[in-house]
């Protein structure tokens, strides 16, 4: 449950317009805040966007977060 709450919190940081999904432009907006390069954020998006449809859902985001925490895809 804590994982889901944290994941939702991070998702909302990325999804500022509360669209319900995250696109590449949303992640690029975080470039200065997160001190990550444009290329790194592109890679993050590619890794998280499991179905490669150009938008990240909360489910995909949570899967990536759990992968980061547990080292494998558990959701």
Residue numbers at the binding site for another protein (CB under 8 A): 9-10, 13, 33-36, 40-41, 43-44, 47-48, 64-65, 67-69, 71
| CB 65, min distance to another protein, A | 6
DSSP string, the chain: -HHHHHHHHHHHHH-TT--SSB-HHHHHHTHHHHT--HHHHHHHHHHH-TT-SS-B-HHHHHHHHHHHHHSS---
CB of 4 to another protein, least distance (A): 14
Identity of the residue, 18 or 33, whose beta carbon is nearer to another protein in the bound complex: 33
Nearer to another protein among residue 34 and residue 58 (C-beta)? 34
Shortest distance, position 48 Cβ to another protein, whole Å: 8
How far is residue 29's CA from residue 11's CA, in Å, rounded to a whole number? 13
């Amino acid at each position: 449950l804590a994982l889901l709450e944290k994941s939702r919190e991070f998702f909302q940081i990325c999804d500022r317009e509360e669209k319900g999904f995250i696109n590449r432009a949303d992640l690029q907006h975080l470039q200065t805040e997160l001190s990550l390069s444009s290329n790194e954020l592109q890679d993050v998006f590619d890794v998280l966007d499991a179905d490669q449809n150009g938008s990240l859902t909360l489910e995909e985001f949570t899967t990536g977060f759990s992968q980061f925490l547990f080292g494998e895809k558990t959701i």
